[in-house]
Amino acid sequence: MHMERIPPARAGPAEVQPLGCAPADLPAVLDQRLLRDDPERISRQLARRGLELDLTGLQQIALQERDLEEQRSTLQAEGNRVGKEVGQRIRAGASPNGPEVQELREQGNRLKQQVAGLEEEEKALEVRLREQLLALPNLPSEQTPDGASEADNVERKRWGEPRRPAPGETLQEHWQIAERLALVETERSVRIAQSRFVTLQGAGARLERALISFMLDRHAKRGYTELLPPILVNTASLTGSGQLPKFAEESFRCAEDDLWLTPTAEVPITSFHRDEVIPSDQLPLRYAAYTPCFRREAGSYGRDTRGLIRLHQFNKVELYWFTRPEESEAAHEQLTRDAEAILEALELPYRRLELCSGDLGFSAARTYDLEVWLAGAGAYREISSCSTCGDFQARRANIRLKAEKGTRLVHTLNGSGLAVGRTMAALLENGQQADGSVQLPAALVPYVGSDRLQPTA
């Protein structure tokens, strides 16, 4: 799911403290060499996202940091030489407290002080640089069409025949159907948690579970390795995949621990291989993971308040690839096809949009959104977002592959395969019958045990 545009620093009722985290060991976000050599190129690319930034200030910091590093390491080399010489002289018989050794010691101390001063400056620059770089989104891919907003997204394909109401027929929205069939309990869920939480019950709960199994089985058959990762993740994990530091207000955080509730399985899966060097012949790695997902949905008050479309907690099956850089483009097509295959198996009409540069999520370089047809609403709604992040997440999470010479950053890709709640909504709206029942696609029968949801009357 791509990031919703969030009004900056708008605090929700349960306000999350600003994090103020930028540990010094966090990785760089953009290639620092590119920043030093050609900041214009970065600016041009970010401008395609609608970010007008002058990076010459950052470039200056980066250049300055490099100069300091040069000076510092020269002094350190000198200090190392002095240190060695002391040892050699003493071993050669010089008195440890004699004048010549004493002289070297003082020289060593002088160098040490100089190094300490430079180091301090260098570190300060580095922290500033990283803080700012971590807040910059990924650069759009060359293939990504230019555009300012949602309105400029490009439709790439349609599949299936959208169901329209027959003459005299009124199609209901999924929340109406869910209520009638007693699939979802909304009001009591507010008692348990708060609004935007639901309890599925009876056939609703069963259908949700069936969909999860169905999706995972399909993906497993296509070669995905199933993962069931932790859904509480630490700050480094959220930073690695790009949710932090910018989108802290979108995630739920555990107050007593360095742990957050995952907004998507993309987060734990990215960190599944964080700080690893993956042997090239193991790539691509393909994972499918079911997880609940948690989002604060700050700034979307009043939108989609009914039903299963926008919840603080929802279920999702996520697809995730780690690939060699040269394979990621083909992988993106394949991953998207794998998500589409679920929609097709469920006989749900959909269309594929390619997001324009202005509508890309923070970590994405290129994104296809899949939108499913909701017959009751009479509209296409996002049900999957399939992105390639290039090396953006790999750089933040330090995930590389063993190359001929040295290592290279891998490419990461992710996509929902699919958002389960929205899938249920689509099934209800598209399968609704005049008699009040809901016809289910044949593919689900082995999982649900029936081809129809009946009103309990």
The H or E element that residue 380 is part of is strand 379-388
Cβ 350 vs Cβ 381: under 8 Å: no
> Cβ of residue 197: shortest distance to RNA, in angstroms?
23
Name residue 400's beta-bridge partners. 277, 409
Residue number with CB closer to RNA (102 or 454): 102
Cα(129)–Cα(113) distance, rounded to whole angstroms?
25
Residue number with CB closer to RNA (73 or 225): 73
Residue number with CB closer to RNA (21 or 443): 21
The residues annotated as belonging to the active site are 295, 310, 382, 385, 422
One-letter amino acid identity for 449?
A: G
Residue number with CB closer to RNA (90 or 154): 90
> Cβ of residue 420: shortest distance to RNA, in angstroms?
23
Intra-chain end-to-end CA distance of the chain, in Å: 37
Residue number with CB closer to RNA (56 or 74): 74
> Cβ of residue 232: shortest distance to RNA, in angstroms?
12
> Cβ of residue 83: shortest distance to RNA, in angstroms?
3
For the stretch 244-247, contacts whose Cβ atoms lie closer than 8 Å and that sit 24 or more positions apart, written own/partner, are 244/19, 244/21, 244/134, 245/19, 245/21, 245/22, 245/131, 245/134, 245/135, 246/134, 246/135, 246/362, 247/3, 247/6, 247/362
Q: Assign 420 to helix, strand or coil.
A: helix
| DSSP character at residue 171 | P
> Cβ of residue 21: shortest distance to RNA, in angstroms?
14
Cβ 100 vs Cβ 82: under 8 Å: no
Q: How big is the chain by its Cα radius of gyration, in Å?
A: 27
β-strand 276-278 against 399-402: which pairing, if any?
parallel
Task: Kindly list the residues in this chain that would bind RNA in the complex (CB under 7 A).
Answer: 24-25, 32-33, 66, 69-70, 72-74, 76-77, 79-80, 82-84, 86-87, 90, 96, 104-105, 108-109, 112, 277, 400, 402, 406-407
